[in-house]
Structure 1
Amino acid sequence: MKKIKIVFSSFAILAVVFVPGGCTKSTDMGMSKDSSGVQKSEAIAADIKIYKEIWTDSMGDYRGEKTKDGRCPKCGMKLEKEVIIRGLKKDEIGKEYFCPVKEETFTGSAVTKAGEYKDKTYYFCCNWCPDEFAKTPEKYIKKEDKQEMKEDSGGHHH
């Protein structure tokens, strides 16, 4: 009889501990609420893969991956995205692009990567170029600008 009381008491204690908590299933699935309480998606677009993000502060003290708190480890300033390397959008596939790293034109495909930098999109001919671009984007945007000027003038220089 004593054994039954112990087993029953143990079961009762477990029931008190585990049952009231119930299931705490999360339903937010990658959504966050803004200040008005409205849910919003944090992704750029569901069908676009993000390969890399380079973050920086406005003072230039930090450049690299986003820190846990989103602030510069040296000065504490808020970090902002400088470069985003992503896959192509469906409507970008099949178009002609100029790679600023290798300075050549190519046709965009499902494996082509693009870079967002200073509100402009740059396209890369191979998997080596996006990483090279992300290291020093200023070096390569000048090449892109020269190519655009050449195309605008029809390739003729007067």
Structure 2
Amino acid sequence: STKDLEKVVYFAPTRRREPVHKVVIEGRRTDLLKRGDLISASEERIHRHYDHKFKSEEAFRVIQADDVPVNEGDVISAEQVGLLKRNFGDSLFHVEPAFRVIEASGDGRLETGHILSRSELDSLRKEGPEPAVERAMAGNQEGFVVTAVSHLPFSKG
């Protein structure tokens, strides 16, 4: 309405940095605010003071969302693993020691230079003759293969 627009135009410069709250539980006057509405901190204080049933929580705006910069199957160094674990924690990606095939298998399943994770190597050892492998390197450090990674749902990767 025009009255709401006037409030926005009049108060916008002074309330730019005021915290925003999201209505969690409607108060007695459901015609004023609905669940999920965003209100300023001063409005929230007024509603909370006069209506004890009213509940809200501070709302936050996501300014930047960093995605894990690796994909499944990537070989990364021990230093990169440490950096990623510090920045993103253990729950967003998992790594295993990486092994490089140094001699192709006779049945053609493995080619020279193919990278295997520890779990893949263990399952191949159970199936038949042990493949000839060595520890894969990423630069001058031992390599780790990314076995699982959780990307943000809106990321391009």
Higher-RCO chain (CA-CA 8 Å, sequence separation at least 6): 2
Fold shared per TM-score above 0.5: no
Answer with 1 or 2: which has the greater Rg.
2
Using the size of structure 1 for normalisation, the TM-score is 0.18
Q: What is the TM-score normalised by the length of structure 2?
A: 0.18
